[in-house]
Amino acid sequence: MSTEEFRNEQQFVTDLYVRLDHLRDQAERAVKEALREVGTGFQARLERDVVVAEQSNLLSALNTGENGLCFGRLEFSDGRDHHIGRIGIRAADAERTPLVVDWRADVARPFYLATGHTPMGLRRRRHISSRGRLVTALHDEILDLSDAERTGHEGADADAVLLAALDAARTGRMHDIVRTIQAEQDRVIRSPHRGVLVVEGGPGTGKTAVALHRAAYLLYAHREQLARRGVLIVGPGPAFLGYIGEVLPALGETGVLLATPGELFPGVHATGTDRPGAAAVKGRASMAHVLAKVVADRQRLPQTVPPGTGEEYDTLPEAALEIDHDDYGTLLLDRTLAYEARDRARATGLPHNQARPSFAFRIIDGLTAQLADRLGADPYGGPNLLGPDDVAQLGKEIATSPAVHEAIDSLWPVLTAERLVADFLAEPSHLPPHEAELIRRGPSARPDWTPADVPLLDEAAELLGEDDSVRRAVEERERRRRVAYAQGVLDLSQGSQSYEFEDEESEFLAAHDLIDAERMAERQEEADHRSAAERAAADRTWAFGHVIVDEAQELSEMAWRLLMRRCPTRSMTLVGDPAQTADEAGCGSWERILEPYVGGRWELVRLGVNYRTPAEIMEVAAAVLRSRDPGFEPPSSVRSTGVRPWVLAAGDVARAVGEAVAREVPAEGRLAVIAPRELHPALAAVLPGVRAGAEPDLGREVVLLDPRQAKGLEFDTVIVAEPAGLQPSDLYVALTRATQRLGVVHSAGRLPAGLGRAADGLLLRR
């Protein structure tokens, strides 16, 4: 490829990297100088931190561009041309001339949308392939057929670049698709819809890649808003998050929080497993009402019988708490006072912990009045002998009495979400007996939380709230201390002025002329320099600017309550495929998910082209779902490999899988064995470097997964073991993970009906 065009592109890319290196050196010098020259004052520290953050972000973007800095070129009929890349780079001239246009810019859209029928002003579109800093290939598409000029790099197959990317060996990590975004995908990525956008598509349609690139586009188009509030991406499991974890950083975006549904409550990492049926009970929306009743049960009245004995103690008017109050004898906290205090606290509409002070104040007032009546009673029936100051002093004593606070705690305790939910699961209430038994879990100081517990914890935290009055009082005292100190500094600076100007207006400005004590105190506060993603991960009440949910059909109604609280603006991108719903608590239907929150104000787009799965494999997988839904139509595969999936009946499935793996493992790429969880120990014994029960290392040549772990992933070769042990939706997922080759190993006589009907598409092995 020694053509002039090729040499020109190589020189352009070489010059780009010279500019890239220069910018990197500038950024590194700026960071070193900021760190070296920083002073001790707050303003100096702030300026240093700003410089370091800005230059670190620039370095991150520049390092992103290192791999495939420029991948395309647009030549317009009016003589304009633009190179397209992962990041935008400008020249060092006064006009800051663009050298490379960011793929997200509007001017780059023809690279993805232009066709011969609708050229969008283009005469030629060029795809540039590179390895590091070396250009390896050019592929030109002629869009203006009246233009006779040719470069020698025109290709007869307009999809050559796409097909080459699809056929490339997998590495265990998803790569960005900026070079090969298709028109239907680009329209979703740049959709102007600001509410809930649902992206539905079958296996291999690029749903996940589209969602990630949409996140990158939104961060580009709405940088100020989203950089401040952050973007949350929720994926089905740790393996999936590890698989997609490098996509957004490769596009220069690092301010995004990735989490599984089991990681959405700060301080809890849910790794436990529910018994069959338990997740479905926990996931129903009605659990919100159940938990509200559980909280109400903890707002008690004095009782004469222990809880749980079957007595309805609300009907026992003689019940009262006896409070030993030092030298004043016994005080009685009766049901009438407690009932009035409880009603007053509930009437505030505040969460449990935040309403507690109202309950406590009314109890303290009532006990103070009781004690005042006793101590100040006139034996001759006259008015109370205690004055207002005496009563106020009694109130202070009661308010600081440990015995009084112990009584208040017994009736209206401060609760945590973890303790409340753990107690509820140890002894479920307000549920039918069979459901209570399904979710019952023994008491434990450190519960083994499951993903289905996390929405319950979040709901409980919402019902309980946090009584932050003490924290706010401490913060206010500290703020006043800083203001007083700042005022003293300003007073000293004013008093130290020279008396030479005492009788005339000074031309010099003193500190107090520029700033007051309040602002000076604010500047002394330590700034929080964590990223939006880091702060959001630690804050349950954080409101994200945008939320993306992958495999959205799998989440329960309670999980959606949690997510909607995280995104009050309802700016969301939901990605999924109802046909792949496998979780027993999954909503499946988009209407069922969204109706309670946005009504009909959401938009649905469908992706219908399968870029991952070859036609031979897709036809076999589709037969599984057609066995229960004859009208099912899978997405249309863009390629055919000519390699038929194979099936093998074996007496020892694990041994047969081990032999098949040794035979099928690709020279390049990755192989996955997907099997029911109960078969994993036997399979791990015959697979090199694999441990049963461990999170899969997708960087290894061979990995062992169950279908839930495999969701959203893809491998060069897949071997499905004992398919009869998988439900149809899970089997459909397992069969559609392969990009090249698929094998099925089963016990004799245990081939699911769907696969049996697909026998014509299967190569039988003996």
Mind listing the pLDDT tens digit for each residue in 56-105? 655 665 665 556 788 999 999 999 999 999 888 888 788 888 899 999 99
pLDDT band at 387 (very low <50, low <70, confident <90, very high): confident
Rounded to two decimals, the pTM is 0.83
Question: Smallest Cα–Cα separation from 646: which of 632, 626, 663, 631?
Answer: 663
Report which of residues 709 and 91 the model is more confident about: 709
The least confident of 225-239, 511-525, 595-609 is 511-525
Mean pLDDT across the chain, nearest whole number?
Answer: 84
pLDDT at 343: 96
Place of tokens 């990009």: 739
The least confident of 8-12, 63-67, 177-181, 270-274 is 63-67
The least confident of 172-181, 331-340, 524-533, 748-757 is 524-533
pLDDT at 309: 47
pLDDT at 497: 42
Place of tokens 């500019």: 19
pLDDT band at 509 (very low <50, low <70, confident <90, very high): very low
Q: What pairing do the DSSP bridges indicate for beta strands 671-674 and 715-721?
A: parallel
The least confident of 87-91, 423-427, 561-565 is 87-91
Over 70: is that where the pLDDT of 652 sits? yes
Report which of residues 708 and 759 the model is more confident about: 708
What whole-number percentage of the chain has pLDDT above 90? 51
CA distance 762 to 327: 90
The least confident of 382-396, 412-426, 480-494, 515-529 is 515-529
Q: What is the mean pLDDT of residues 97-124?
A: 92
What SS3 class is residue 392? Answer: helix
pLDDT at 505: 46
pLDDT at 714: 94
pLDDT at 243: 92
Q: What is the mean pLDDT of residues 535-562?
A: 93
Q: In what order do the strands lie in the sheet with 715-721?
A: 702-705, 671-674, 715-721, 738-747, 646-650, 763-765
pLDDT band at 526 (very low <50, low <70, confident <90, very high): low
Over 60: is that where the pLDDT of 222 sits? yes
pLDDT band at 527 (very low <50, low <70, confident <90, very high): low
Q: What is the mean pLDDT of residues 699-728?
A: 94
pLDDT band at 514 (very low <50, low <70, confident <90, very high): very low
The least confident of 90-94, 102-106, 634-638, 658-662 is 90-94
Beta bridge partners of 764: 647
pLDDT at 445: 64
Question: Smallest Cα–Cα separation from 251: which of 103, 117, 128?
Answer: 103
For 79-142, where are the alpha helices, taking DSSP H only? 110-113
Over 70: is that where the pLDDT of 599 sits? yes
Please state the φ and ψ torsions of residue 72, each to the nearest 5 degrees: -160, 165
Over 80: is that where the pLDDT of 523 sits? no
Which residues lie closer than 8 Å to 20 by C-beta, 6 or more apart?
62, 65, 66, 69, 89
pLDDT at 261: 95
